[in-house]
Structure 1
Amino acid sequence: MPKADSAGPLARKDGYADLRGYAGIGDGRTVALIARDGSVDWLPIPALDSVPVFAALLDAENGGRITLAPVEAYTTTRAYIPGTNVLQTTFTTASGVVRLTDALVTGVAGRLPWTELARRIDGIRGSVEMRWAVEPGRALRTAMPWVDNTVHGPVIRVGGVMLSVTGFEHGANEPGTHHLDGAFTTSAGSRHLFAVSGTSREPIHPPNPRNVDRGIDRTVDNWRAWSREFSYEGPWADAVQRSALALKLLIHSPTGAIAAAATTSLPETITGGKNWDYRFAWVRDVAYTLQAMIRFGLREESQAAVSWMLTTIRKHGPELEVFYTLDGEIPDEIVRTEAPGWRGLGPVVCGNDAKHQLQLGPYGDLFDVMRSYVDAGNILDAETGRSLASVADQACDDWQKPDAGIWELEQNRHYTTSKLGCWQALSSAVHLAKLGEIPGDAARWETERDRIADWVNENCWSEERGAFTMYPGSDELDASILLHAPSGFNRGERMSRTIDAITAELGDGPLVYRYTGMREEEATFVACAFWRAGALACVGRIDEARALMDELIPLANNVGMYAEMIDADSLDFAGNLPQGLSHLSLIYTAILISELSD
């Protein structure tokens, strides 16, 4: 498993923690991000895509947080309980040692119908004075919290969210106007707990704190039971399991949708500006996650995600949207808030402008996962078969159109990987038709598949560059072409030379920039680095692929989490986190190298 994260007293710049220092916990509906100093700086309630009432991550002054730490100076070590998303942080002071266990509690039958953050504090040695506070923020500056002293105790209201704080041996003080806090002192063998429960536009029942304490142990057992279902025992198995657990945080259990990341508006550049909301379900990311879950034999999550994806596409298709809400709807227009953003690098947005774009890549993503789903022994229903046939026909027409590409660019072009997304879709459609799983004109699909391949080989290969280029007539390079070694489009000399060209121009040590020109604009894109390792394996350069994986795995933070991007010089995280595509790419590449090594 990843090494325990250790640090001295956390240095915050302008009140903001380093992104590399966060660890995530979740309950199947939302995710909390916890800094090394024990502060919960991100927690939307009730769902991941809700406006967050704890958002110090994006607004240090008014965003809100849940703090818990020793009063005196301390150092910390922390790690997940093996096989779980339950985090343990050990604080060491001059006077003693305490262990903090953090969980978003799950119930006997799955997620609870409310959000329940439990924080258990065990005295290990000596005595340590601890202080905590529950300080909701202003919901990205759209609401003001207040404490309401009810007959059953104080609750905090923020807009439609209601919060209850309960506990035992936690030294609750008199409530403030906008927050609740308390202090207590541990001793060797002592146990203390406080819990924050939340609902949105619903009544709340403050839980019995002893039940919450037992719920932490139940949550550990639930996570361990899930982890035991894994079937992967190949190389880098610990990193693969931790990445799978990170992905599990992003699965929206009410629908089966899979969020691209747990946050919004964390900048991709040191100057800000590339700030996007990733709390939506991209067809691409859902497809990649499904590939991993099918490989692991996780039948329940696979079935839920497939059902969500097909139902959503049928509802809004046959044209594919780039992404959907976690409830399977077309996203609303983007909203820009007054929050300043992480370290002032705004804007902070809810929504994503890419929803207006034409992207052809999702055709390939959809069909590739349906091919894997069927090949794993599943059978398509008649309505799904007809729907997929309609989408395949649409791909036959749409591949000739310019689009925004995988990187959601402002200028539409005939991007190479977009054409290959359609090639991949039609290849899989032909395969499914031959198995009798989908109806339709397979001869047309086969003809258009071959036409796309000929077009790409004729127009997108540059002998001068020794590579497939980003689009016809360009000498620019695009790391996403590396995805089409695993897809089977090319595993020969041309792909091998393309890998070398991308390494020379876009590579920086083990890391890779997305495409030509990005070195000056943003950090490296984590997924691209894993794509390069996978492509190396596909062209027979297994030893290079393995060596690259050995360099990439340690670039996660010390609890095994990846953001979207990593600065090649400082190794600082950038972009939203935990980023599903980063973890997906690690898993997919590890499996690919393992299979190609047999």
Structure 2
Amino acid sequence: MDRIDGFAPIGAYGVIGDGRVAALVAADGAIDWLCLPDLSGPAVFAALLDPERGGSFELRPRDEFTAQRRYLPDTNVLETTFTTADGVIRVTDVLTLQEGRLLPWVELVRRVEGVSGRVDVAVRVRPRFDFGRLATRWRTERGYPVARGGSTAVSLVTDGDCELRCEGDTLTTTVSCAEGSQRLVCLVGVDDEPLVFPHLDQIGTRIGRTADFWRQRASAMRYDGPYRDAVVRSGLALQLLISQSSGAIAAAATMALPERIGGSANFDYRYQWVRDASFILDAFMGIGFQAQAHASFTALQRATNRTHPRLQPMFRLDGDPRLPDETLDLRGYRDSRPVRIGNGAAGQLQLGNFGDLLDTTWRYTNDGHVLDTSTARRVADVANLVTALWTCDDSGIWELRRSQRPYTSSKMACWLTLDRAITLAEDDHVPKARAEHWRRERDRIHRFVEQHCWSQRRGSYIFYADADDALDASVLLAARMGYPASTDRLEATIDAIRSELGAGPFVYRYSGTQSSEGAFLACSFWLVEALALVDKVEEATELMDQLIGAGSDLGLFSEEIDPTTGTLLGNYPQGLSHLALINAALVLQRA
């Protein structure tokens, strides 16, 4: 793996996690991203965004090496094999669990095993608390090296004789590993809690038991259709984004990774998005993640209840609607600035979110579950609100910050809101007093879309009502939501989107983005799903075959991709990309 001016390619990272935090491990042995005390907290290691000021945890052979890596089968435990002229070592990276549950502390373990010969391993730990905004200095406490920044503290626990050297904010050591030997290097982290120094034998035991936990999760997947390996890896990747404490799922493990190298579209995705909700429920129920589906649905209901009847697009993982919106004084990934923390889109009106919320609710009940009284009332309130709001312009699914318009996909989602509310009322899940009003407004929305959002000249549904010729790939979701478009119109729209927004197997979000960002991977999988739903299964399968190979060597997908070079772009791993992959595979299985 070659770094460019200190930056590793996005696709060169493996990801490990414990349902609370996630770490990005580069193929050269550097952990360049870790936030504490949770996924959306301040970074302790952020070399991902600034190699000099961001901090990292490096463990690699001291001499020149080559590296090969993999996840242990059906786990989120990462294994990297380093080969040097003098020998071979195997490094296992894992964020450990205790019998499948979170430890009271974060325990990031790096086990080094000698495979052949003897290899000297260089270790360098450079924490930079709060994205480098807090001063860091190591000191010895109870015989262990400890670094503190604000309320956060980390320590390094090692086995055997190794000389630890502290120089300001950097801790270094060298570990020698011969054939048949094993060494442990463990980073322990806490926030506003006492700092524990775990016993080495217990750490070693937890490595194997954590791997067993992930294997149990993988074996619980109820999926034996096409692309099973990719579906299992996607399911495991999504597990890394789920908060064990709340059940919410983050959009991605990272922030500020650019949609174009050197560009300014660098957003923070470490929050839960209402938009993702129906995709999550569909995917999780489809692969047998029943408990996770229930947990994510409950987390969504708790969060949206805090702003009811207003519905904001995203929330913190604990359901808090208050998100920061600031920039950090960091270099940015390959000089892509600004580096944003928080998300300014939290205050937008996105009409599509109402459809996402009610579609999720419908899918939940359709799987045999029952709503509580307060949730049922809120669902009816949402439907009533949409009858008043659907004529408004909004920021759309793409969160366009200065372009409120009557977006076609938003209007279709308003249709979806009322259609699902009607069905829920008919099935006695929600109050039905205004069901006839919902029906009338639903039909009005349909007439509006067919009259104003279809271009006869273009032969396609267009980006927004009465637009000239602009197209939007999110309209592909019409087939998924069951929007009552004719097959001819759906097929014509698919053809138009492939022609204008397609780049090989990939699809850009909307007209004009080809020069400013990469192709959006979820849109590419939505195209697979749309093709299958209009009975073009062979085309859908050919496209899926190409897309599956577009991820990293570990099977992880980011938000976007450069269609020319295959370079992954945007935040990583991206939950929506993996959800779209799973849902496309499920549709192909049923086709």
Query: Which category describes the TM-score, using the shorter chain as reference length?
Result: over 0.9
The 5 A counterparts of 1:8-19 are 10-19=1-10
Deviation of 1:169 (Å) = 3.1
Q: Determine whether 1:586 maps to 2:581.
A: yes
Match of 1:104 in 2: 95
Of 510, 516, 531 in structure 1, the residue corresponding to residue 511 of structure 2 is 516
Correspondence list, 1:363-512, <5 A: 363-409=354-400, 410-440=402-432, 441-474=434-467, 475-489=469-483, 490=485, 492-512=487-507
Give percent identity, aligned residues only.
Answer: 41
* 2:137 is the alignment partner of 1:175: no
| Shift, 1:491, TM fit | 5.8
Alignment match of 1:527 (pick from 522, 545, 548): 522
Where 1:139 maps in the other structure, the secondary structure is helix
Residue aligned with 1:473, SS: coil
Residues in 2 aligned to 1:508 and 1:32: alpha-carbon distance in whole angstroms: 32
Aligned residue for 1:481, secondary structure, equals helix
Written as runs of structure 1 = structure 2, the 5 A alignment for 1:100-179 is 100-169=91-160, 171-179=162-170
Offset at residue 265 of structure 1 (A):
0.6
State the alpha-carbon separation in 1 of the partners of residues 142 and 520 from structure 2. Answer: 52
Corresponding letter in the other structure for 1:56? A
In structure 1, give the amino acid aligned to 2:549.
P
Partner of 2:548: 553
Any conservation in 2 of the 1:319–1:394 contact (CA below 8 Å)?
no
Report how far residue 179 of structure 1 moved: 2.5
1:145/1:159 contact within 8 Å kept: no
Q: Deviations over 1:263-293 (max 9, x none)?
A: 1111111222001111111101133112211
Q: 1:516 to 1:170 in 2, by over 3 A?
A: farther
Task: Work out whether residues 46 and 131 of structure 2, in 8 Å CA contact, stay in contact via their aligned partners in 1.
Answer: yes
The alpha-carbon deviation at position 251 of structure 1 amounts to 0.6
Q: Is the 8 A contact 1:170 1:193 kept in 2?
A: no
Q: Aligned to 1:164, what secondary structure does the other structure show?
A: strand
Aligned residue for 1:485, secondary structure, equals helix
How much is the aligned-residue C-alpha RMSD, in angstroms?
Answer: 1.2
Unaligned runs of 5+ in 2: none
Q: State whether structure 2 residue 224 is matched by structure 1 residue 230.
A: no
Residue identity in the other structure for 2:530 = A
C-alpha contact (below 8 Å) 1:257/1:286 kept by paired residues: no
Give the aligned residue type for 1:486. R
Supply the distance in 2 between the matched residues of 1:71 and 1:584 (Cα, whole angstroms).
Answer: 39
What amino acid is aligned across from residue 481 of structure 2 in structure 1?
S
- Corresponding residue for residue 7 of structure 1: none
Answer yes or no: is the 8 Å Cα contact 2:306–2:321 preserved in 1.
Answer: no
Q: Deviation above 4 Å: which 4+ runs of structure 1?
A: none
- Name the CA distance, whole Å, in 1 between partners of 2:161 and 2:387: 64
Alignment match, 1:568: 563
AA aligned opposite 1:484: A
- Is 1:62 the counterpart of 2:38? The answer is no
Distance 2:234 2:109 in 1: 23
Give the whole-Å Cα distance in 2 for the aligned partners of 1:170 and 1:132.
Answer: 14
Question: Contact (CA 8 Å) 2:144, 2:157: kept in 1 or not?
Answer: no
Query: Residue 274 of structure 1 aligns to which amino acid in structure 2?
Result: A
Q: Which runs of 5+ in 1 are unaligned?
A: 1-9
Partner of 2:405, secondary structure, is coil
**8 Å Cα contact 1:59-1:339 kept in structure 2:** yes
Larger deviation: 156-165 or 21-30? Answer: 156-165
> Contact 2:277/2:360 (CA < 8 Å) preserved in 1?
no
CA shift, 1:231, in A, is: 0.5
Query: Aligned-pair distance for 1:213?
Result: 1.1
Q: Is the 8 A contact 1:136 1:158 kept in 2?
A: no
Q: Distance in 1 between matches of 2:472 and 2:443?
A: 23
Partners in 1 of 2:309 and 2:251 — Cα distance? 22
What residue number does 1:40 align with? 31
1:209-231 deviations in whole A, cap 9, x for unaligned? 22111111010011111111110
Mapped to 1, the partners of 2:258 and 2:308 lie a distance apart of: 32
Contact 2:261–2:334, Cα closer than 8 Å, also in 1? no
Q: Secondary structure at the match of 1:66?
A: strand
- The question of whether the paired residues in 1 share the 8 Å contact of 2:100 and 2:210 is answered with no
Indicate the larger mover: 80-89 or 156-165.
156-165
Task: State the aligned residue count.
Answer: 587
Task: State the 1:299 CA deviation.
Answer: 2.3
> How does the TM-score come out when normalised to structure 1?
0.96
Return the match for 1:261 from 224, 239, 252: 252
1:155-304 correspondence to structure 2 within 5 Å: 155-169=146-160, 171-304=162-295
Q: Is 1:141–1:337's contact at 8 Å kept on the other side of the alignment?
A: no
- For residues 563 and 12 of structure 2, the distance between their equivalents in structure 1, rounded to whole angstroms, comes to 17
| Segment drifting more, 479-488 vs 139-148 | 139-148
Deviations 1:294-348 (A, max 9, x none): 2222222122111111122122111211111111111333111111111221211
Cα distance in 1, alignment partners of residues 442 and 293 from structure 2:
28
Greater shift in the superposed pair: 413-422 or 306-315 = 306-315
Give the residue type in structure 1 aligned to 2:407: Y
1:561 and 1:418 mapped to 2: Cα distance?
Answer: 29
1:348-403 residue CA offsets vs partner (Å, 9 max, x unmatched): 11111111210001111111111111111111111111111111111111111100
Question: Aligned to 1:451, what secondary structure does the other structure show?
Answer: helix
Q: Distance in 1 between matches of 2:303 and 2:333?
A: 33
Aligned-partner residue type, residue 504 of structure 1: S
TM-score (normalizing by structure 2)? 0.98
**CA contact under 8 A between 1:170 and 1:194: conserved in structure 2?**
no
Deviation at 1:174, TM superposition (A): 3.3
Paired amino acid for 1:429? A
Cα distance in 2 for partners of 1:32, 1:332 equals 22
Offset of 1:175 from its aligned partner?
2.9
Question: Please, which moves more after superposition, 519-528 or 278-287?
Answer: 278-287
In the TM superposition, residue 66 of structure 1 has moved relative to its aligned partner by 0.5
1:537 to 532, 539, 551: 532
Q: Which residue of 2 aligns with 1:6?
A: none
